[in-house]
Amino acid sequence: MASPGDWKIPSAVQPKAADYTFDLDRALTAIVSLSTRVPPEAFTAETLGTERAGNGVVIGEDGLVLTIGYLVMEADTVWLTTQDGRSIPGHVVGYDAVTGFGLVQALGDLRLPHLTLGRSDTVRVGDRAVVAGAGGRQRSVAVEVVARQEFAGYWEYVLDEAIFTAPSHPHWGGTAMLGPQGELLGIGSLQLQQGGPGGPKAINMIVPIDLLPPILEDLTRRGRVDRPPRPWLGLYAAEGEGAVVVMGLADDGPAESADLRAGDAIVAVAGEPVADLAGFFRQVWALGEAGVRVPLTVQREGRTLKLSLTSSDRERFLVSPQLH
| pLDDT tens digits, 213-231 | 999 999 999 999 999 999 9
Q: Which CATH architecture has domain 1-227?
A: Beta Barrel (2.40)
pLDDT, average across residues 71-88:
97
Query: For 15-30, how does the pLDDT look when each residue is reduced to its tens digit (9 = 90+)?
Result: 999 999 999 999 999 9
- The C-alpha angle with vertex 1 and arms to 183 and 45, in degrees rounded to 5, equals 95
Taking the C-alpha atoms of residue 208 and residue 163, their distance in angstroms, rounded to an integer, is: 7
Residue 17's pLDDT is: 95
Q: What are the Cα distances from residue 210, in Å, to 117, 148, 205, 250?
A: 8, 14, 15, 30
Q: How far apart are CA 124 and CA 288, in angstroms?
A: 34
What is the structure's pLDDT at 2?
A: 37
Average of pLDDT values for 273-279?
A: 95
Using DSSP's 3-state secondary structure scheme, residue 8 falls into coil
Residue 324 confidence class, pLDDT cut points 50, 70, 90: very low
DSSP assignment of 235-248: EEEEE-SSSEEEEE
What ranges do the domains of the chain cover?
A: 1-227, 235-317
- Helix spans in the chain (H): 24-28, 45-48, 213-222, 254-257, 277-285
CATH number corresponding to 235-317: 2.30.42.10
pLDDT at 321 over 70: no
SS3 assignment, position 7? coil
Under DSSP, the state recorded for 291 is T
Average pLDDT value for the chain: 95
